[in-house]
Every structure is written in structure tokens, then in C-alpha cells.
Structure 1
Amino acid sequence: MIHSPVVFHVVAMEVHQAAEVCEWIYEAPYDIYGWMPWPQMQELNIEFGDPQLRREQYVSVINEQGRLCGFAQLFPMEGVVRLGIGMRPDLCGQGLGHLFMEPIVREALKRYPEREIDLEVLTWNQRAIRTYQKCGFRITDTYERRTPTGDKPFYCMVYDK
């Protein structure tokens, strides 16, 4: 039996999808990518808990059945759009990353055709780095950045159109 590849689509992030993302629990060491509870995100009006920011910068990634598979933030900066990406925990490590990334990159190119596309990734996250490289991103810089658990080394990866 031949299985067709999974097809992902980018859509506007709905409130129920934002709330679902807050329930995701990742295994260590990826557990640092979890979010605070949805009511707290809304109360603090931060990230996708802020309705305007959610509308302007966040998208949901769904499969052909309409099931939420992940999300992306398309954060506009001077001359750049920075991607923030999250895949549903049970889909991570299944070899779907490049298929997941394709519609996100297409959306960024559509929204910001004149801007460079980049992302930041912790240097230890080789699983994500391999995926990003497979999708056309290359490491252009290394630096330390503050995280909730202290300063950590990151790569900046830029999409090579």
C-alpha cells in the first residue's frame, strides 16, 4: 500500500487553536518549548493571547482533515521576517518537518516578498536544525540569548531563496 505524503496548510489562528497549543506537553529536552496556561496568556495579553498580535502574526498549520498540527509566528522586523515555529508534540521526530515547514515559508514569502526570512534555533536542537537545512535554511550567525533558564547559544538561520 502506498501512502501519500501528509499535506499541511496554513490558516488564520483561531482562539480554540491558540488554547490547544497551550495544552501541548513536550518531552525533555524539548519541554522548554511549552507555553503558559491559556487563561494566563489571555490575561497577560501576550503572544497569541493578544487578539491583535494573533491576527497579525500567528498562523495555524492544519492537515487535510483540519486538525491542528502546529503554528507559526511571522514576526516582521526591519528587512526581515523572523519565523517562530511549533509542531504538535506527537508529530515531532516523525520526519514530517520539511512538509510542515513548506507552507509556512510560502506564507512568509507571500506576506513579505521583499524581506529575508530567518529563524532562531538553540544550537543543541539538531533535529530542528536538520529540518531547517533540508528546507533551504543555512546557519549565518551564532550568539547567546536570554531564555527563561538563563543565557543559551542560538543559531540564526536564513532561508536561501
Structure 2
Amino acid sequence: MQLFIHQMNEEASNDILTWQYDRPYDFYNNERTDEALQEILDGSYYRMNDENNVLIGFFCIGANAKVPAGNEFGVYNEDLVDMGVGMNPTYVGKGNGFEFCMHVIRFIQEHYPNKAIRLTVATFNERAIHLYEKLGFVSEDKFQTLFAQFQTMIRREHQ
């Protein structure tokens, strides 16, 4: 599968905000609100399409990739590039995650050379954690919110 990265647009945003994941991943479902649409169109989000222009997923870089409650626990104190990812539910759990995430990592490495990458994942999402470990991410910090426990994972350039 060939993947292409583009700046987020309103059409893709509207699609993404209606994606529905199966349990227990329904934790990642969004609601289409003006606030959500404004965030996803703020310039920090990108969409990824395949060679047939099918929307495979999205990612964001920077503050929007962080779980805000993590700031209270100091898990974001180190100056790293934060990434957040979301894959179209149609493609989840079918072996597409590695290639998808490698595209994101290469994009970040091109735009932020020699910077480590951090992501935040809910600890119940063992499937994603396993994938991130295969991609060279190492578990760093854990913190608890009202909704879930999260962990940060870091991928350093020398890995």
C-alpha cells in the first residue's frame, strides 16, 4: 500500500470525527463539535491517504498530541516532538499499523531531525503498545486521569 501525507482538510476532518471504533477502542471515538473541528483544522493535523485516495488515518504533532492531564504530572517536561495517531476503523487490527506509523515517524524525522518522538497511549491499549515497542518506542511515564491510565513512550534517534 502506498501512503501519502497531506495537510488536514475539512472533508477529512468531518469523516474522522464520525469514526466509530469497536469496544474497548470506542474510548477513542470523537464527537463532531465546532471545537473538535477547529482543533483538527488548526494546522497540527495531517491526513494520510492511500494510492486510491482513501483516507487511511491521521496524525498530529505538538500540543494536540498530548493528554492535557499529563502536564499536571510533569510527563511532558522534556522537549520532545509529540505525535498522536488515529487509523480509520476499517483498517484497525489488520496489520496496517506498522507501515502507517513508520510513515508518520519518517515525516517527523524529516521535519524535526535529531529530535526524539514521544507519544501517549492508554495503558489498556495493549495492541497499540505492542506496535509502538516494535517501532522502537520505550515506556517512560504513567499517569491516571478520571477516564483512564496513560503512559508516555519515547523513541530516541539512536535506537
Taking structure 2 as the reference length, the TM-score comes to 0.82
Q: Indicate if the aligned counterparts of 2:115 and 2:156 stay in contact, CA closer than 8 A.
A: no
Match of 2:5 among 10, 19, 22: 10
1:79, 1:107 → 2: CA distance?
18
State the SS of the aligned residue for 1:27. Answer: coil
Q: Which amino acid aligns with 1:7?
A: Q
The alpha-carbon deviation at position 38 of structure 1 amounts to: 4.9
Aligned to 1:59: 46
The alpha-carbon deviation at position 151 of structure 1 amounts to: 4.5
1:91, 1:102 → 2: CA distance?
16
Structure 2 residues not aligned, in runs of 5+: 64-75
The answer to whether 1:21 aligns with 2:16 is yes
The alpha-carbon deviation at position 30 of structure 1 amounts to: 0.5
State the SS of the aligned residue for 1:25. Answer: coil
State the SS of the aligned residue for 1:109. Answer: helix
Q: Indicate if the aligned counterparts of 2:141 and 2:152 stay in contact, CA closer than 8 A.
A: yes
Aligned to 1:3: none
The alpha-carbon deviation at position 36 of structure 1 amounts to: 1.1
By percentage of residues, which structure has more strand?
1
The alpha-carbon deviation at position 40 of structure 1 amounts to: 5.7
The RMSD of aligned alpha carbons is 1.8
Match of 2:26 among 21, 25, 31: 31
Aligned to 1:152: 148
Mean CA deviation greater in 78-87 or 126-135: 78-87
Could you list the runs of 4 or more consecutive aligned residues of structure 1 that deviate by over 6 angstroms after TM superposition? none
Q: What's the % identity of the aligned pairs?
A: 28
Q: Which amino acid aligns with 1:9?
A: F
The alpha-carbon deviation at position 125 of structure 1 amounts to: 0.5
Aligned to 2:138: 138
2:36, 2:147 → 1: CA distance?
23
How many residues get paired? 144
The answer to whether 1:41 aligns with 2:36 is yes
Q: Indicate if the aligned counterparts of 2:12 and 2:55 stay in contact, CA closer than 8 A.
A: yes
State the SS of the aligned residue for 2:124. Answer: coil
1:40–1:142: structure 2 CA closer, same or farther, 3 Å change rule? closer
Structure 1 residues not aligned, in runs of 5+: 1-5
Taking structure 1 as the reference length, the TM-score comes to 0.81
Q: Indicate if the aligned counterparts of 2:48 and 2:57 stay in contact, CA closer than 8 A.
A: yes
The alpha-carbon deviation at position 128 of structure 1 amounts to: 0.4
1:66, 1:107 → 2: CA distance?
19
1:84-111 Cα deviation digits (max 9, x unpaired): 1100001100011100101111111122
Q: Indicate if the aligned counterparts of 1:98 and 1:135 stay in contact, CA closer than 8 A.
A: yes
